[in-house]
Amino acid sequence: MNILLINGPNLNLLGMREIDIYGEMTLSELEENLVLIAQNQGHKLLCIQTNAEHEIINAIHDAKLKNNISSIVINPGAFTHTSIAIRDALSGVEIPFYEVHISDINNRE
């Protein structure tokens, strides 16, 4: 199974910003760990991070059109509450997706 992991705005700063909320692990370290876990389960994990909404949308479209992705895991970051376009893209490709967050967004925003 091919899985796409999308991390949105500011997640490239993991381990460097708001350590009390997000911890000390960098995005690279997190991705390396997740790739190994996926491999151990017989899956392939493709990881991307971008601060640009249109690049997230393009990655979602490419998941359907080019990359033979079976499921998407997305942490939309700051776009969580604001991007109708990302939600529409996820719905439009008809690939199962899971929204995840590092912190409890209900207690923060």
Q: Which residues are catalytic?
A: 22, 101
Distance CA 80, CA 103 (A): 12
Of 53, 65, 66, 68, give the one whose Cα is nearest residue 6: 53
